[in-house]
Structure 1
């Protein structure tokens, strides 16, 4: 049996450095928190060092987690355990049939429909823009909301944009290169286009921020732009703040998220008569199943 010394707890953390640059920061955070959850569970249950893990231990962990966590979370934690075994070059138990059966039991015991953020409609966008203050923050937020909606970006894509990714065209619109996305980890990119109104809003924001930073959307401190990108969490906060300022109640405010621009714009295109293939191309979707789930709430309005 493999024995570990007193430093076994840090082995996987040091090995995780090898993943830097190969995975998105959000994925890295998830991996760390999931492995820590397994590690802590093993300690709380008086089990030996978690790696290499026994098949029975992983089965017990998955079934225990399934009592309080969504199946998607349990699956993600299984993947994290698998990743650690690979990084440490240990025998990987996660493909054992007993583990497969344990996860199937978790999934069947708690069928959970994925929770979807509320789509931001064109009317919502108009209202959210109208409540922005006449300040540098308002200039930035108007440009970001307007552009994010029209490009149907994920929030991580939106905050990753740089000035060099934007081209002002002769017709007054924008051509934008979205370099990397969740579905495009190699960074081949996709092209999006904006309205004249969004181009004007972005030009006003860029004129204010100047060349202090070439991140398209940056933080502001004491009315000065800061040379770093916004966090993707800030996008969600800005949307929720706009919904609150518009007059939505607490429950409605909670239903909006950083994904609301992408979902709402896709739903709006469906209502306007665009087919699934066109919407997939515009938003960079690879899976028709994911897009179909976003669009199902819009379909009852299409035929009204």
Structure 2
């Protein structure tokens, strides 16, 4: 078969997706298709249009080193680019499903779950933050992220307009962006008065000219742009180290630890699954169940 892939500018096709998908999704698409193209070029195979044998071989080769979830994501990227190029899509063939099953069966370890931040952890993490503008911001971020059960992407995407002060001094917050809410319709969540006060202190220092609720700080001045999601992960790991966790245990925390820990705390306090799903915006009981496994174990201690 004649190799026409060199004449296809597949990257330009992804420009059509801009604004329809989250930036993180776009980065994953680019990275995953590039991995497929590089693999095909190395082996002298044609990526566009790909045949079933090529995709099967790619899946099983990737499965030797990558996680099953990464392999599945790369398969979806191959499917998406074939559709964008209006080429015949090979990814629904039954042999593709069999190759993916082989990869999943070869990866019998459970997906790694971030360590949840308990309410005790949160108290110590907040106390460990220095009395600086960065410490002020980080205390507000951690307290708010825990009470709203946010993903890190949801936390950094918040804006002042998403917050409303209620008569009792608490906050009503619209959490607009998540994997389960790609069109930004949002879910409503609420804070305690204590967290509302932390937010108010941070906003008073930050000023009213900043578009985002949380922003970077450079030379003790707020910068009018959105925080990177990696800032949340670094903030939590640094707080864990300051609070007495050794380096190995601190690495168990991630940017997802606020959401994981808050869900576990709600279960231990007697809230049922339906209430926790509403609070955190979960659509899948199966996904939530993974969050709650360790909490369920601790309930009986």
Q: TM-score, normalised by structure 2?
A: 0.97
Gaps of at least 5 residues in structure 1 are none
**Contact kept in structure 1, 2:176 and 2:186, CA below 8 Å:** yes
1:249 pairs with 2:209: no
User: SS at the partner of 1:92?
Assistant: coil
| Number of positions where the alignment pairs a residue of Structure 1 with one of Structure 2 | 301
Judged with a 3 Å threshold, the aligned counterparts in structure 2 of structure 1 residues 60 and 274 are, in CA distance, closer, same or farther, namely: same
Shift of 1:268: 0.4
Q: Deviations over 1:148-175 (max 9, x none)?
A: 0000000111111000111111211111
Gaps of at least 5 residues in structure 2 are none
**Contact kept in structure 1, 2:125 and 2:240, CA below 8 Å:** yes
**Contact kept in structure 1, 2:5 and 2:48, CA below 8 Å:** no
Matches within 5 A, 1:1-304: 1=1, 3-4=3-4, 6-8=6-8, 11-48=9-46, 50-304=47-301
Alpha-carbon distance between aligned partners in 2 of 1:106 and 1:135, rounded to the nearest angstrom: 49
Shift of 1:3: 4.7
User: SS at the partner of 1:156?
Assistant: helix
Alpha-carbon distance between aligned partners in 1 of 2:49 and 2:2, rounded to the nearest angstrom: 8
**Contact kept in structure 2, 1:270 and 1:295, CA below 8 Å:** yes
Alpha-carbon distance between aligned partners in 2 of 1:297 and 1:97, rounded to the nearest angstrom: 37
Alpha-carbon distance between aligned partners in 2 of 1:36 and 1:111, rounded to the nearest angstrom: 27
Shift of 1:303: 2.3
Alpha-carbon distance between aligned partners in 2 of 1:206 and 1:104, rounded to the nearest angstrom: 50
Alpha-carbon distance between aligned partners in 2 of 1:80 and 1:214, rounded to the nearest angstrom: 33
Q: Deviations over 1:273-292 (max 9, x none)?
A: 00000000001000000001
Q: Deviations over 1:42-84 (max 9, x none)?
A: 1121223x11001111111111111111111111111100001
CA RMSD of aligned residues (A): 1.2
Shift of 1:2: 5.9
Alpha-carbon distance between aligned partners in 2 of 1:286 and 1:97, rounded to the nearest angstrom: 28
Shift of 1:247: 1.6
Q: Deviations over 1:176-220 (max 9, x none)?
A: 111121111121111111011101100000000101212000001
Shift of 1:6: 4.1
Alpha-carbon distance between aligned partners in 1 of 2:91 and 2:165, rounded to the nearest angstrom: 51
User: SS at the partner of 1:205?
Assistant: helix
Alpha-carbon distance between aligned partners in 2 of 1:7 and 1:245, rounded to the nearest angstrom: 54
**Contact kept in structure 2, 1:212 and 1:225, CA below 8 Å:** no
User: SS at the partner of 1:103?
Assistant: helix
User: SS at the partner of 1:167?
Assistant: strand
**Contact kept in structure 2, 1:140 and 1:217, CA below 8 Å:** yes
User: SS at the partner of 2:172?
Assistant: strand
